[in-house]
A and B are shown apart, each in its own frame.
Chain A
């Protein structure tokens, strides 16, 4: 499953998620529900900014893995794993646990796909021992 398929599945199963974007932890957009690439990049950049600000606000050593910012207009969810970040915008008062679960599932499926797509390492040849020296 690629990032676009993971997002399509996510928005299909969750009626509360209005839009979502998946990006690398450095901000490169892998997929988004926005037709516009620029919009996806903007939302991903702002979500990463939110994540960084939250990490700074916590001021603890333990790494941050997810956040929910609830406002009167709707909520913003950001979840990250070792490689990628998924951000979603929802309607006000969403089912928080469900949205986190869906986003984490999306990232997990993507990680599995990325792991499977890695080229298999070729076994190293053993150095032949020099004989007669």
Chain B
């Protein structure tokens, strides 16, 4: 399935992700990692910590509806994989981000921007394995 190359929208969207990360640090003193936020909502350490994470999660989930109101269209989601792949992939992602203490937002954006050696290693590891996995799934198994 081909997708259109969208450098400007992607750059602008990336800048918004960065803006959110900077604002969260400036206002709340926290790293904007999706894994940390979801974990903190599921397994709260204190009432205060639960509340800001739940509020941020709610904001994230309401973004598509907000864009629908603003632009008249829902952001496009095309899922080129099977239900089984979603379930197996999701489960493995859950194990991986918990053991690795972060994902694309926490390690890839916030940690890399802090020049954290841990995050640079983590990002290199998951990017390389994702490239390899997609190659194997699409061109070795599926090819």
**A, B assembled together:** no
